[in-house]
């Protein structure tokens, strides 16, 4: 059984991206730049923003952190996004989700310039993804494909079952795997799927993205399957200093005895998501400068 370490792969890609960012800076006399907008004091969001800032500093990406209190109005937030769209030193914009309930997240996403949408959530980038055109791709699905490629896991002709239909993982993941360069046969399941196990059982590759501990159990997966666990769930654990442990959506210990390969949690898909966000920032900077990213090395 092979453990698919996203942590190890992300370190390799980050080193490559750091070199590309350095070459970019030499050519254009500036660093690729990324802005993060944080609204409110959600502890998880603050942790995510801190980790993204650290990654920028490690890779040589300029970062601009904008923070607002939770009572900011939607118009004020949209005005901020418009300003960042016009800022020539900002190549990528990320508005940390979730936002307070009085703010329309879709309106915010649609306001971000597609050229600076390093999350890959803008409808224009989603449309390009569906059509197989060049664009900024959602980071988690992109990271999953890099894991599969790195460990030489073939998708062509394989049955893939994606459990979860979110706009940030399930839907773009399905679209990517259906492209002619991937050639997978994709089934997307969700909370209303009847007899979920029957769909998961026949899959060569299972991608679990439902946000529920042990949603996928040993009896649901066929022998030799490849399992990608996207879930990051906090569960109480008094043995941890933080008071909680991170668990995925699959029963890792049980599945290890049955599958051919599986991603761990933590250390699997999670590190790749941030890694792809940094790579997308580099790509966005290249596109805005009219430069082919390949001149700085293979992407």
Long-range pairs for 247-251: beta carbons < 8 A, 24 or more residues apart: 247/213, 247/214, 248/208, 248/213, 249/163, 249/208, 249/209, 249/210, 249/211, 249/212, 249/213, 249/214, 249/215, 249/216, 250/206, 250/208, 250/214, 250/215, 250/216, 250/217, 251/214, 251/216, 251/217, 251/218
DSSP calls for 18-71:
HHHHHHHHHHHSS--EEEEEEES--HHHHHHHHHHHHHHHHHT-EEEEEEE-TT
What gap in Å lies between CA 151 and CA 215, rounded to an integer?
A: 25
Per the CB < 8 A criterion, the answer to whether 138 and 119 are in contact is: yes
Per the CB < 8 A criterion, the answer to whether 277 and 118 are in contact is: yes
Task: At 123, list the tokens.
Answer: 């409808």
| Residue 96 bears catalytic tag | yes
Task: List the catalytic residue out of 14, 20, 91, 96.
Answer: 96
Task: List the catalytic residue out of 14, 52, 116, 158.
Answer: 52
| Residue 119 bears catalytic tag | yes
Task: List the catalytic residue out of 119, 204, 249, 251.
Answer: 119
- Which ranges in the chain belong to alpha helices (H)? 6-28, 43-59, 74-86, 105-111, 123-131, 139-150, 170-178, 196-201, 252-255, 269-288
Cβ neighbour number for residue 193 with a 10 Å cutoff: 16
Point out the residues that are catalytic.
Answer: 52, 96, 119
């Amino acid at each position: 059984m092979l453990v698919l370490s996203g942590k190890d792969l992300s370190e390799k890609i980050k080193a490559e991206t750091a070199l590309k960012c350095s070459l970019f800076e030499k050519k254009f006399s500036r660093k690729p730049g990324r802005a993060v907008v944080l609204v409110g004091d959600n502890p998880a969001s603050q942790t995510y923003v801190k980790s993204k800032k650290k990654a920028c500093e490690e890779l040589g990406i300029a970062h601009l952190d904008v923070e607002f209190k939770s009572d900011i109005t939607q118009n004020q937030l949209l005005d901020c996004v418009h300003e960042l769209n016009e800022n020539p030193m900002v190549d990528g914009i990320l508005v940390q989700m979730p936002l307070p309930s009085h703010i329309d997240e879709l309106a915010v996403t649609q306001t971000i310039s597609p050229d600076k949408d390093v999350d890959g959530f803008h409808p224009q980038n989603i449309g390009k993804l569906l059509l197989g055109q060049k664009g900024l791709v959602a980071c988690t699905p992109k990271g999953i494909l890099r894991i599969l490629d790195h460990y030489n896991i073939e998708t062509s002709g394989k049955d893939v079952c994606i459990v979860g239909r979110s706009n940030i993982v399930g839907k773009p993941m399905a679209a990517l795997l259906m492209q002619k360069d991937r050639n997978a046969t994709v089934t997307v399941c969700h909370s209303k799927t009847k007899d979920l196990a029957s769909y998961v059982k026949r899959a060569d590759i299972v991608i679990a993205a439902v946000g529920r501990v042990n949603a996928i159990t040993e009896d649901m997966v066929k022998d030799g399957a490849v399992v990608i666990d996207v879930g990051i769930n906090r569960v109480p654990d008094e043995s941890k200093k933080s008071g909680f442990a991170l668990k995925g959506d699959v029963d890792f210990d049980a599945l290890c005895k049955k599958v051919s390969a599986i991603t761990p949690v933590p250390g699997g898909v999670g590190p790749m998501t941030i890694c792809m966000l940094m790579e997308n920032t580099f790509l966005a900077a290249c596109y805005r400068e009219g430069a082919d990213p390949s001149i700085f090395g293979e992407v």
